[in-house]
Amino acid sequence: MASANNNQEFEGDEFSNNLFSDLAPLLTLFGEQVTKQFLSMSMGWADNVLLSMGPLGIMTIIVSAIRIGGDKKMKALVGRKRARESYSVAEQELLSSTSENVCEMWSGQQIVRLIGDSEELKTLIANQDGDIYNIQSAVKAHLLTLDGNYGSRLIYLVGGDVLESLSNAAPNLALNVSNATVPVHELWSLAALGTLLQLFAVAFSAVATYHWKWTKGGSPVQAYGYPCFCVGTLCLIVGVMVCGHIIEGVTEESEFHVSGTGREERVKIFRFQRARTVGDQHFPSCAIFNAEGNETIKISRLTSKNYRLMATGFAALAVTGYIAQFVGLRALHWSATIVQLGVTLIMTGFRAWVRRGLAEDPDVRPGFENHELAWLTLFLMSQKQQDGHPSNISAPTSQQTHNEQESQYFWELVTGYQKPDDLLFSRESHHLSEEKSPVFVVKQLFGPICGHLSVNLREETRIHPYLSPSEKQPALENFRSAGNFIPADDLQREVSTVSNALQGIIEKVMDFLSQPGAVSWKIPNIVPDKIGQDGELIVREHAPEVYLNWSFNVRSGKLPEYRSPDGLRTSLQFQLVRKSQVLRLPSDSALPPWELEDARYLDAVISLSMYAMAARLQFTNPLTPEESMQLESVSRPRRTLHAWQTRTGRIMGCTSRDSAREKIGQLRAWLNRPNLKIKEGPLPNGSGGTYFLRVDWYFGMFLSSLSSHDEQLVAAEQGARVEILELAIEEKPTSSLPIKWAQELLSLFMLAIASEIEEVLGPTEGHMDPPTKENACLRRIASLVVEGGLAETKEDAYVLIIPAFLKYDLLRD
């Protein structure tokens, strides 16, 4: 009977010989990925203690320490590939740091560590006014402090070079996610609890062996069993702990905190990512903001510490300790293995818990590819009237909610457009998904232009305060401040080149028109006082500087304001300055040159306007392929839904129906293009649609009936029966968009100076067959435009010049 009972009992020792005593200790060698995940976010001794108590992935820890701190001979021992492995590969897999060779990027779904440069990634800080700083400039502006407990004293100690290095470091996206790292007190609490659990495992085995005298397979436990287990466990703990220290010790962490001044200015911390493709993976443009309440910037970077000797010694100690522990556990009662395995499982849970922040997604706002700088500027502008943390605004898409769409902010030069109404508003008529409906945005961005347009040039004195473009249009200054810290892409470099060319042309044109014999000005101080009899130009001694303010309407505001006259109420103003403090200039000497003040904002004007156009194009085909098929089945017969195109034109003037032929004849003659096709049509202000599936853009809106002072057009506004026609030509498709926008600014400048000219001087030549006319003064202006690179031929330059002079009736036979 006793024999039967003994046979029915659970024979743990026999079972343990096959499972617990052999397999359980071997399990601790595995767990590679979970171990690497823990190591990649280790930043102190508390993490090392957690790693060493009930360790999992022991071989991964040892190999990782050798990869990070070992010499080539040690790396060769753990694999031939490791000996020739780039350090960047180990950094990418195992460390929390970023460097010149390793960066972190947002893939659209998750944070990815890559081998590559970080030029397209920047950590930036924005205040409530939209001004942008990098870390270095934010510290100097007292918006940030380094390691807040030490304040400015520590900033002084680290020095300017170190601060600049930290400012230019690649952003650590994972470290700055909300709750990515748990508080230090929580780490130490779990480390202490883990230490107690490991001590319990060691003490339990001692009690079971020496006090309870549990046997091993019916025989007393071997004398070497417990000493091997105890010493092996201690060696393993120390070895793994130091290996963990080697891995986290090669990085150095720094923390910046928002200062009191920063809180008063309600600064926002974010990481800017420009779109790029690495290998076959595309990474979208975006801004990644700190979560609400997170006022720190964490940076982890590599150090030059040498751990070669330590890596060799403690890697060997960890291996020796594991072997001794394994031998000891095989000699002990099977319950010792169960307890140690239980400690390992519990500690694995603890380690996973302290890395729970890795499951959190950062606060990402999708950007606008190829126009990231403009999008970021206007995104921050949209926050000026928002309290607290930024609202959930991203780049314009058809997937936004109505509230998100209403918060969009835009800024642009005024352009005209014709849109295909029947398709853009088809969601309402065909009941497509309303939550994705872009109808509101389309109505606002493509809505009719309300109000009148004006462009002016007037003389000012320094007695009257001059408001620079940045003061009246803060979006321009915000664009510049962002551009100081974000590297320019190819498009932005082209914009800068075109802006410099435009500045040079404007200044040279003013220099030429200021010479006697070019034009007769309404403003008396532009041309010198008189010409001496001996052929010398006489300029008053210590004459005051001449200031000319050039201003015109721009369109800006949030989407709900875009169709109201308020959207055009503000104007953009530049100032031209000529200094004159000499008494006498010989006739072969040049007058003091004109300078376009605030020309540095020209690239902002062009870039923001290009962004507004690109945002509109996002909605010219808002349908998914499935919705396009659905719409095609219910819309009018066969149209090419996929053939979306854009076409640009330029308004050359406006006239009544009765005067159209005469005006067209004048344009063709003065443009030296007798066969030029000039289209007559209604005002392209978005109120009328096109039949073809495309959007037609029109420059030159300041030459349209929205800004004309012609008597017939005024009579038409007052109710007279006069049909108004806009005269437009189609522009060459070969010109780049930056050049088109620069040409628009140049045409506005020509309108401004034409408004203050009484008469164009110089000889005019005319030909009857074909009928053409040309003035020497305008020919010189056209040559300056061609030389500056904004036109390919003289005839192309005339398109930007002639309409302004015709508008003010300055071109006569």
DSSP-assigned states of every residue in 480-528: HHHHTTS---HHHHHHHHHHHHHHHHHHHHHHHHTSTTSEEESSTTSS-
Hey, which residues does 764 pair with through a beta bridge? 775
Which DSSP helix (H) or strand (E) runs through 765?
A: strand 764-768
Whether the upstream peptide bond of residue 770 has omega within 30° of 0, thus cis, is yes
Do residues 386 and 289 make contact, with C-beta atoms less than 8 angstroms apart?
no
- Give tens-digit pLDDT for 110-149: 999 998 877 778 999 999 888 899 999 999 899 999 874 4
| Residue 399: pLDDT over 80 | no
CA distance 534 to 532: 5
**Binning pLDDT at 50, 70 and 90, where does residue 724 land?**
confident
| Listed ranges 570-579, 587-596, 690-699; the one with the highest mean pLDDT | 570-579
Query: E strands within 554-620?
Result: 555-558, 571-578, 584-585, 594-597
CA distance 498 to 484: 18
Written as one letter, the residue type at 553 is N
- Give tens-digit pLDDT for 440-476: 666 777 777 777 888 999 988 765 556 666 667 888 9
- Give tens-digit pLDDT for 152-166: 445 555 556 778 888
- Indicate the DSSP class of residue 685: E
CA distance 398 to 623: 8
Tokens standing for 174?
């994972």
CA distance 764 to 748: 24
Q: In what order do the strands lie in the sheet with 530-531?
A: 530-531, 537-538, 584-585
| Residue 88: pLDDT over 50 | yes
pLDDT at position 124, please? Answer: 94
**Binning pLDDT at 50, 70 and 90, where does residue 23 land?**
low
CA distance 285 to 371: 9
- Residue 7 dihedral angles phi and psi, to the nearest 5°: -70, -30
Q: What distance, in Å, lies between the first and last C-alpha atoms of the chain?
A: 134
| Residue 521: pLDDT over 70 | yes
| Residue 6: pLDDT over 50 | no
Tracing tokens 């609890």 back to the chain, one arrives at 193
Tokens standing for 186?
């929580």
Q: How many CB atoms lie within 10 A of CB 310?
A: 18
- Indicate the DSSP class of residue 621: S
Tokens standing for 760?
């164009």
| Residue 398: pLDDT over 80 | no
Written as one letter, the residue type at 231 is V
Give me the residue spans of the domains in the chain.
11-359, 455-596, 644-807
Q: Lowest mean pLDDT of 96-105, 219-228, 627-636, 638-647, name the range.
A: 627-636
The percent of residues in the chain predicted with pLDDT above 70, rounded, is 76
Report the chain's C-alpha Rg in angstroms. Answer: 37
Torsion of CA 319, 325, 329, 335, to 10 degrees: -110
CA distance 77 to 35: 21
> Does 390 or 503 have the greater pLDDT score?
503
Written as one letter, the residue type at 63 is V
> Does 787 or 539 have the greater pLDDT score?
787
Q: Average model confidence (pLDDT) for the chain?
A: 81
Do residues 28 and 58 make contact, with C-beta atoms less than 8 angstroms apart?
yes
Burial tier of 659 (Cβ tally within 10 Å: 0-12, 13-18, 19+):
middle
Q: Cα dist. 619→446, 615, 683 in Å?
A: 10, 7, 22
Tracing tokens 């000497």 back to the chain, one arrives at 589
| Residue 19: pLDDT over 70 | no
pLDDT at position 438, please? Answer: 55
The structure's pTM equals: 0.83
- Residue 486 dihedral angles phi and psi, to the nearest 5°: -110, 120
Q: Lowest mean pLDDT of 70-84, 240-254, 297-311, 671-685, name the range.
A: 70-84
CA distance 452 to 78: 77
Burial tier of 776 (Cβ tally within 10 Å: 0-12, 13-18, 19+):
middle
Q: How many CB atoms lie within 10 A of CB 643?
A: 10
> Does 253 or 641 have the greater pLDDT score?
253
Do residues 469 and 584 make contact, with C-beta atoms less than 8 angstroms apart?
no
Q: Lowest mean pLDDT of 2-16, 98-112, 308-322, 374-388, name the range.
A: 2-16
